[in-house]
Amino acid sequence: MITLLEYILLGMLMEGTMSGYDLKKTIDSTVGTFYKASYGSLYPALKRLAEKDMVTLTETDNSKNKKLYTLLPSGQKAFLDWLSGPMQTGRNEQLIRIFFFDYLDEDLRQKRLAEYIFKLDQEIHMLEAVQNVVTGELAEIEHPENYYYRVSVLAYGLNHFQMERQWLKDIMERKDLNHVKPEN
């Protein structure tokens, strides 16, 4: 069985050969908004993919002793089979926690919700900065339409975090959620 992290790595390697460090940087700057990968999980996943003959590992002789990973045809096939399959809904730990917030006292609920809103504000700010960079880069490349779905995920992330932030503010104020109208 292939894990989600392994599929992400295969997808990143569709772009070309990368080191583990490059893969981590690429994950953090792209899908890292929605999926966190540590070096402690990344390298074992790369090792498993190599053992499954989905990627090759090449060690360089430079001073950094860098290991480079390259996608093999079997890895590309596995990735494309997964990618073309039906989509699954994910789990969101924050929603599960909030579901049980009635067991906490009001001060602690408010504190945790405010902390989470602060984190969302940071994510929103970061995504807006990325969006500005991407907009500039797309204006300068030939065939920006070839990046439509990647850019659409950025827009989704920004919209999602803004919606989540508004929802959290509404529940902090104990608004009647049956009658709340979205802000424009």
Q: Per-residue pLDDT tens for 24-37?
A: 999 888 888 778 89
Distance between start and end Cα atoms, the chain: 44
Q: Which whole-number Å values give the CA distances from 33 to 26, 36, 99, 119, 156, in the listed order?
A: 11, 7, 23, 12, 11
Sheet with 18-19, strands from edge to edge, namely 18-19, 67-71, 55-59
Residue 81 has pLDDT above 60, yes or no: yes
Q: What is the pTM of this model?
A: 0.65
